[in-house]
Amino acid sequence: MGKFVHVTADRVRNGMRGLEKLTEKDEAWQAELKEFVEVEIRHREQWDAEQRFSYGDPGKGV
Amino acid sequence: MALVPEFSVSAVNPYVSGYSGSGTPYLSGYLLSYGGFTSYYSPYSIDAQHSGDELIIGYDPVDPADESDLASYNDDVYRRCVFRLVVGADDVRADHQFLFVFGFTNPVTFYPAVAQFFVGTEWIRSDPIDDPTETVALLVDSPGDGSTFLNIFVRLAAESQYARIGLTGIEGFIL
């Protein structure tokens, strides 16, 4: 059986503001967020590097 | 036009990014869970959950009547039975919508189980997971332009500590 719910932007923003209040008290979450961001940046760098390699990089003479 | 997911995350594939070059809107999905349940017999064994690419949580549900917003990570999330999806959204606009499709299981339907959905700290709704497999779709409006991290928590609520729910995966789309 399938179920569906629509979450409006107001509720999303409310929830995010609530989370910000929690994070002020919660150093563990700050560390987790830092980890997410680092993974994200590494992934983008890797993806971009792979694209450069597959298309060739005249500047580097691949 | 066929919808292509930005990510599809599961126990064996907990991080997936839809990044396809800078400037293009994309989502990344990070799957976390707290309060997992394993036992030596199927389907709760680590082996069965691994083979079925499934996470099962249980043993410390909240009271189904407790639908208050999250007030503490420690008391309401980390010490409970929770699936958590962190979504990194980048280069998105305020008029985008995100669709998240959750694949749930109930390995022990004899004990009624409820999945409580939270976006950030805000309780959104509670859905009984009564059938052996259930699909729940969440359509979430983009909170604004640019980049953001969304947190979606799915917490187990039940009268009985023997209630369990499983997660076979979550897909995320940009609409």
Task: Identify whether A14 is part of a domain.
Answer: no
Cβ neighbour number for residue B95 with a 10 Å cutoff: 10
Closest residue, chain B, to A5 (C-alpha): B138
ipTM of this complex prediction, to 2 decimal places: 0.86
| Phi, psi values for residue A12, rounded to 5° | -60, -45
Whole-number pLDDT of residue B47: 94
User: Which of the residues B72, B101, B106, B121 would you substitute to probe the A interface, choosing the one with the greatest number of A C-beta atoms within 10 Å?
Assistant: B121
What would the two tokens of residue A5 be?
């719910």
Q: How far is A13 from chain B (nearest CA, A)?
A: 6
In this predicted model, which residue has the larger pLDDT, B42 or B8?
B8
Task: Identify whether A62 is part of a domain.
Answer: no
- Is it the case that residue B101 has pLDDT exceeding 60? yes
Q: Give the position of tokens 């990044």.
A: B19
Task: Identify whether A7 is part of a domain.
Answer: no
| Phi, psi values for residue B47, rounded to 5° | -60, -45
CATH T-level assignment (fold) for domain B7-174: Jelly Rolls (2.60.120)
Out of B17, B120, B141, closest to residue A9 by CB: B141
Which residue ranges make up each domain of chain B?
7-174
Q: How far is B28 from chain A (nearest CA, A)?
A: 8
Closest residue, chain A, to B21 (C-alpha): A48
Whole-number pLDDT of residue A54: 63
To the nearest 10°, report the CA torsion of B108, B109, B114, B118: 60
pLDDT bracket for residue A27 (50, 70, 90): confident
Closest residue, chain B, to A28 (C-alpha): B73
pLDDT bracket for residue A62 (50, 70, 90): very low
Out of B30, B88, B121, closest to residue A19 by CB: B121
pLDDT bracket for residue B100 (50, 70, 90): very high
Task: Identify whether A35 is part of a domain.
Answer: yes
Closest residue, chain A, to B19 (C-alpha): A44
Split into its structural domains, chain A has a count of 1
User: Which of the residues B73, B92, B126, B130 would you substitute to probe the A interface, choosing the one with the greatest number of A C-beta atoms within 10 Å?
Assistant: B73
Q: Which domain holds residue A31?
A: 26-57
Cβ neighbour number for residue A53 with a 10 Å cutoff: 11
Mean pLDDT calculated for residue range B19-42: 92
pLDDT tens for residues B37-58?
Answer: 999 988 899 999 999 999 999 9
Task: Identify whether A38 is part of a domain.
Answer: yes
| Phi, psi values for residue B155, rounded to 5° | -110, 140
Task: Identify whether A18 is part of a domain.
Answer: no
Q: How far is A37 from chain B (nearest CA, A)?
A: 9
